[in-house]
A and B are shown apart, each in its own frame.
Chain A
Amino acid sequence: MTGDEAAPQRGEGFPEFVLAREQALQRSAWLLTGNWALAEDLVQTALARCWPRWERIRDDPEVYVRRVMINTWMTWRRRRWRGETPSDPIPDSAAPGDLAIETSVRLAVRDALAGLTERQRAVLVLRVFDDMTEAAVAQALGCAIGTVKSTAAQALARLRTDPRLADLMERETL
């Protein structure tokens, strides 16, 4: 057994972290991938990559895990793995509330995010959705704080002009 394989046995706090944060990580992953199945795969892969290094990162794992998640996602994108494209809605699923409105919001956000560059989307998710500080985002992405600021500004400017989102954002303020 290698040292890495032994590490998970000593991964004190890892199960608790997964239990506490996997949903939040999946939500961020959905914003990156636009697909729950891929989001689940992404979180699982990121956690599996972090596990051997848990002893080193367990004091503050959040930023490291998110960094691995972003890097993994970018790697998948570079390899142009498309994943599946379901051909049919699921006829037997039930959803509370107004399904049509929720779906239109989801599709509008997903499409708008798809129009951003990888880095813009990553910055937006970490900075706005995950509410990380600019310094933490910079650390997660391995870039300067100034780059985070400018990238976030570009991303927000782009979304502000997106007609699919403008109306929805106004409604959110009401």
Chain B
Amino acid sequence: MSDTDTQLRKLLERAVGDPPRHVAVPEVRREFIHRRITQTAAAVVAVIAIGVGGTAVAAHFAGAKGAPAAMAARGVPRYYLQADAAEPGHDPAAYQASEYPDRGAGGGTPVAIRAEQALIRRTATGAITGRFRCPEGTGWWVNQAAAVTNSTFIIGCSEQPAARTPGAGPSQEVLLSVHLTAAGGVAGMAPVPGGHLTRIGAGVISMAAAPNGHEVALAISAGNGRMDIEVLNTATGQRALWRGRPHWKYWGLSLTSNGQELVFTGLPCLGVPRCTSAGSVLAVRPAAQGGSLAGARVIVPHRSSVTAISPDGSVLCSLGLEATVSGPPPAPLAHGVILICTSVKTGNLVGEAYDSRFDRGAAALGLLTADPSGQYLIVHAVTGGKSINGWIRENPATFNQDPANMPSVRLIPLKGNGAALAIETW
């Protein structure tokens, strides 16, 4: 090798640095399976096309067989949506802190999140590939977001007063679908049919979209010590009302892929000072029917910060904060963030993991979001000055562990971690 080669090589090595992430065998395996499925599906389509449409059509489809793998949809969402609250530590934290009655927070009225803008970030690098504000202009805030596909989100924009004053909630909320380009930019927005909400009391507190995009569920603080849940059919614009029980708070909504099952956390503490009720994770079905939430069935008989139901409705994951983790002796007690996944049908534990880096008594905020496939979970938690933000690679059902030897949560970090983070979904 000549001197020039050596110099150049040193320069190249210096420029390259270290890769930010590792390529692991499971990823390669998924890629391989994905390619095989894509190729098989393309081949099947081509054969059908030959039979139905003749050789010209068949040739067209066969041409698509070798689409570059990088362009095809991957298992892990390539992008995630993220928004910081305009009032860090106030909006979401005030609401979530009220869920910890042992700290004397009592049953405060939930307040709607206010974010000036939302960012689209690339999962692999955290690079910001797009950003948007509510198109309605000044006085409108990004309030909620939920993913329908890896490239389509439904967001809630609410008109709220510039300054928070007691009793002055949002005057209206508009739901919009946001579409991303292949490169993660914002391709456009469109109103969701039936997505213009008025008379929304203190605002929309939680939102979930079914992975098929046909239903959107909204927990609305109706005022007068009551919260309701509305389920919107995005095709027809019709809304079904699930009337809440007096003094019950509802949040942490999630929907199964067929929109049938609506799961949420309920706590009978709304407007109840120093409430000590435990609450529970509840479900109603069919979600689009409406009715009384008094008839909701209990899935998990204890409160959770936030929950996510798998698309097929079989597994429920709950993110608990300030949990006490214990196992058979000599397993130590630990306090921190715990992620528990249980079978909806049997109630049996199918997977759990925890992160004990947090101190007891400081839990404030938690976000748990599953991607539309239900395979990848975003976990965000803030306790005092510490926070974690990342995603879990495995299907929850695959990290079933011996309770005596639970591993720490293996989170792949996501950029944008911070106490102000109020909305994060993919």
**Interface of A with B (CB < 8 Å)?**
4-5, 8, 14-15, 18-19, 22-23, 25-27, 30-31, 36-45, 47-49, 51-52, 72, 75-76, 79, 81-88, 90, 92-93, 102, 105-106, 108-110, 124, 128-129, 131, 156, 159-160, 165, 168-169, 172-173
Contacts and interface: CB of A to CB of B under 8 A. Distances in A.
B190 interface: no
Given A26-B19, A82-B183, A106-B17, A8 B32 contact: yes
B11 A165 contact: yes
B11 A169 contact: yes
Interface in B1-23: 1, 3-5, 7-23
Interface residues of B, number: 51
Given A4-B36, A76-B70, A84-B185, 7 more contacts: A27-B13, A30-B19, A41-B70, A48-B31, A83-B70, A105-B14, A109-B11
A92 B416 contact: yes
A159 B69 CA distance: 32
Interface stretch (B118-126, B285-293, B300-308, B376-384): B118-126
A68 B353 CA distance: 38
A92 B415 contact: yes
B9 A128 contact: yes
Interface stretch (B127-135, B199-207, B323-331): B127-135
A76 B8 contact: no
List of 10 A-B pairs having minimum Cβ-Cβ separation, nearest first: A86-B127, A109-B15, A84-B183, A48-B31, A88-B128, A26-B19, A48-B32, A22-B23, A41-B70, A47-B28
A75 to B, nearest CB: 6
Contacts of A129: 9, 12-13, 16
Contacts of B5: 128, 156
Contacts of B124: 36-37, 40
Nearest to B12: A129
Contact of B129 (A45, A84, A124): A84
A93 B414 CA distance: 11
A156 B36 CA distance: 40
B330 to A, nearest CB: 33
Contacts of B418: 92
Contacts of A23: 18-19, 22
Contacts of A31: 12, 16
Interface string B386-421: 000000000000000000000000000001111000
Nearest to A165: B11
Contacts of A72: 68
Interface of B: 1, 3-5, 7-25, 27-29, 31-32, 35-36, 68-71, 122, 124-131, 182-185, 415-418
B11 A5 contact: no
Contacts of A159: 8
A23 B17 CA distance: 10
A25 B16 CA distance: 11
Contacts of B185: 84, 87
Nearest to B28: A47
A48 B128 CA distance: 28
B23 A44 contact: yes
B19 A18 contact: no
B11 A168 contact: yes
B12 to A, nearest CB: 5
B32 A22 contact: no
B412 to A, nearest CB: 12
A45 B155 CA distance: 33
A39 B19 contact: yes
Nearest to B130: A87
A4 B25 CA distance: 16
B165 to A, nearest CB: 32
A4 B35 CA distance: 12
A84 B184 contact: yes
A76 B71 CA distance: 9
Contacts of A79: 68, 71
A158 B94 CA distance: 61
Contact of A45 (B14, B16, B25, B31): B31
A15 B23 CA distance: 11
B15, B70, B418 — which one has the most chain A CB atoms within 10 A of its CB? B15
B70 A42 contact: yes
Given A48-B31, A81-B68, A87-B129, A40 B9 contact: no
Contact of B69 (A45, A86, A124, A165): A45
6 contacts: A15-B25, A76-B68, A83-B70, A87-B185, A88-B128, A129-B12
B11 A40 contact: no
Most buried by A among B5, B20, B21, B28: B28
Contact of B7 (A39, A44, A75, A173): A173
Contact of B128 (A52, A87, A110, A128): A87
A100 to B, nearest CB: 14
A24 to B, nearest CB: 10
Given A47-B28, A81-B71, A168-B11, A36 B183 contact: no
B19 A93 contact: no
A172 B17 contact: no
Given A44-B27, A84-B184, A128-B9, A105 B70 contact: no
Contacts of B184: 84
A51 B417 contact: no
A159 B238 CA distance: 64
B178 to A, nearest CB: 16
Given A102-B17, A128-B8, A172-B14, A36 B32 contact: no
